[in-house]
Amino acid sequence: MTGVRIERQSSLSADEAWRRLTDWARHGQRLPLTTVMVRTPPPTGVGTVFVARTRLGRLHLDDPMRVVRWRPPHGELPGYCRVEKQGPLITGWAEIEVSPCRGGSSILWREEIELRRVPRWFAPLSRAVGRLVFGRVVTGLLAEEDPAKA
């Protein structure tokens, strides 16, 4: 199992940071070679299913996920979301916490990933790649220009 922990501070409100980080389809715009397809109708909540498909030429790998905990930020209470990976090759979970703080919001993203049929000695490389990739996703989603203002 590979653990990744990403922490960020943002000038965005907790509500806006939450909206951006839980817009699953937008994650695909930040993940290399990946498209994210939401399989359930809005709004997002417990039971929402989405699939991240990474494609390289004719080869592709699907990472199906389901939202199992959903509590948007409210007032001074932090938001919390837990997603469980349900694929045959990629298992694990991801958690997103968004807390209001002075000047904006504080974000914590934790992820545990297991790649089945991959040797344990691969974990340090997987962890480093996960920190880089998911860190760029979080930073990019928080930095995006608001489409409503464009």
CA-wise closest residue to 79 among 9, 15, 138 = 15
Q: Say if pTM beats, i.e. exceeds, 0.85.
A: yes
- Note whether residue 108 is domain-resident: yes
CA-wise closest residue to 2 among 110, 147, 117, 109 = 110
- Note whether residue 120 is domain-resident: yes
CATH number of the domain to which 17 belongs: 3.30.530.20
- Note whether residue 116 is domain-resident: yes
User: The domain containing residue 130 runs over which residues?
Assistant: 2-143
User: Residues 38, 26: contact at Cβ < 8 Å?
Assistant: no
CB neighbour class for 80 (10 Å; exposed up to 12, middle 13-18, buried from 19): middle
The arrangement of strands across the sheet holding 90-101 comes to 2-10, 104-115, 90-101, 79-86, 59-71, 49-56, 34-38
User: Residues 98, 79: contact at Cβ < 8 Å?
Assistant: yes
Res 109: pLDDT: 96
- Note whether residue 150 is domain-resident: no
Where do the H-state alpha helices sit in the chain?
Answer: 14-21, 24-27, 123-143
How many independent structural domains does the chain possess? Answer: 1
- Note whether residue 90 is domain-resident: yes
SS3 115: strand
- Note whether residue 62 is domain-resident: yes
Phi-psi region of 145 (alpha: psi -120 to 50; beta: other; left: phi over 0): beta
- Note whether residue 60 is domain-resident: yes
List the pLDDT tens digit at each of the 150 positions of the chain: 578 999 999 999 999 999 999 999 999 898 889 999 999 999 999 999 999 999 999 999 999 999 999 999 999 999 999 999 998 888 999 999 999 999 999 999 999 988 777 767 666 777 777 788 888 989 999 997 654 443
**What is the distance between the alpha carbons of residues 23 and 1, in angstroms, rounded to a whole number?**
26
- Note whether residue 149 is domain-resident: no
Provide the 10 A C-beta neighbour count for residue 51: 17
